[in-house]
Each structure stands twice: as structure tokens, then as C-alpha cells.
Amino acid sequence: MRQIWIATCFAIIIFGCQVISTDEAQKAEDAKSKAEVLEQNAAPEGTKKPPSLSEIITKPEAQAVDPIGKGPLDDAITCLSRTIYWETKGEGAAGMEAVANVVMNRLGKEGFPNTICEVVMQGSEQGACQFSWWCDGRSDDVEEEKSYAIAKEIARKALNRQLTDRTGGALSFHHRKVSPGWAAEYIMTNKVGEHIFYKPHSKTTK
């Protein structure tokens, strides 16, 4: 009898885990589908109407995507979250939001791609990445889950158009400790966290 009871409990636990796993997978898929629409709407040719409640990515949905930071970079939330995470390691929320602003500002603009993943990976084919973390030769897997969870929440808000642009419309940025030559050709818009942000004088882009 005791063996039957143990087997029953074990089966309930296994079934419960499967239900939770399925639920999280569904949340992740819902988030990815919503993000695809939201990034299209954020591009210049997209609708500028605020997303409806049904279109907004919820916090549980965003957190279900790439839960341990080791998944492939093939969806908007993961690409944006990893960029925020790696470009701003050790910074506070303001610096993280500013990097998210730049990615969203670039989306679909002249000289930049129409999807977040393409924006993040731009230049890699020439070995001159726009975002250095993407082709620095090191692992892109997340090392700090808590910081990555914050990055995903900021990515969610950026896609939902719930972030204020801290950068003043910037399309480029660099760390305070470096002085790239291209910076002299741009207008500095703000300093946030460890980075300085810029936008072009005209339609030209970096």
C-alpha cells in the first residue's frame, strides 16, 4: 500500500512539473509572437498607436523567454535583453534603459535593419559589430540571472513602448572611458550611466 502511495505521489509531482513546463513554454511563445508584432509597429513605417492590452507583453510572459540566458538569439526579447545585459553589466536601471532606447531608436531607421535581432547583429558579417558584445569572441551566455531578469523586464517595457527615451533620440553610444573618432561627427544627446549617447547631425548614420 505504501509503495502505491509513493508511486501516486511521484506521478502527481511529475504531472505537475509537466503542466508548469507547458505553461511556461506557452507564455514564452505568446511573448515572442507579441514582440514580433510590436517591433514591426515600432519601425518608422509601423503604426504609432499605443499597443492594446491584448498586444502588450506581460511580465510573466517576458520572464518565461530564455529563462536561464543560454538560448539562441532568434527572437526580439532575447536579442534585446542580451544586448541590455552585456552592454551595461554592473550598471543601474537608467543605463540599461538607455541602451534599450538606442536599439529601439535604430529599428527600421535609414541605414539600420527592421528587426531587433538584425539591429543587434548588424556589422558582424564585416567583423565590425555595432554592438561589441555580439562579436567579441566570448560566450554570450548569461552569468547573472538576477541582472538578466531586470534586463528582460526593461526589454519588455521597451517593446511595449512604456519606456521614456533617456537618450534624446540617440542612435549611437560609447563607454565614457573611450573616445571613438566617429563621436566628433555626431551631436551628443546625453550621458547616462557609463555611456555617452549621440545622434547624427543629419540623415547620415554611423
Q: What is the pLDDT of residues 93-133, one digit of tens each?
A: 999 999 999 999 999 899 999 999 999 999 876 667 889 88
Residue with cell 498607436: 49
Distance of CA 175 to the CA centre of its chain: 19
Average pLDDT of the segment spanning 129-153: 91
Could you tell me the pLDDT band of residue 18, with boundaries at 50, 70 and 90? low
- Give the residue from 16, 6, 146 showing the smallest Cα distance to 89: 146
Average pLDDT of the segment spanning 69-85: 96
Rounded-to-integer distance, Cα 52 and Cα 83, Å: 26
Could you tell me the pLDDT band of residue 136, with boundaries at 50, 70 and 90? confident
Average pLDDT of the segment spanning 51-65: 96
Domain positions in the chain are 2-200
Distances (CA, A) of 76 to 104, 118, 152: 11, 9, 11
Distances (CA, A) of 92 to 36, 98, 131, 147: 27, 10, 19, 10
Phi, psi of 41 (to 5 degrees): -70, -25
pTM score, two decimals?
A: 0.86
Rounded-to-integer distance, Cα 28 and Cα 31, Å: 5
> The C-alpha cell of 102 is what?
538606442
User: Tens digits of per-residue pLDDT, 172-193?
Assistant: 999 999 999 999 999 999 999 9
Q: Residue 17 pLDDT more than 70?
A: no
> The C-alpha cell of 188 is what?
551628443
What was the pLDDT predicted at 15? 46
Average pLDDT of the segment spanning 135-149: 91
Nearest 10 degrees: CA dihedral of 150, 152, 154, 155? 160
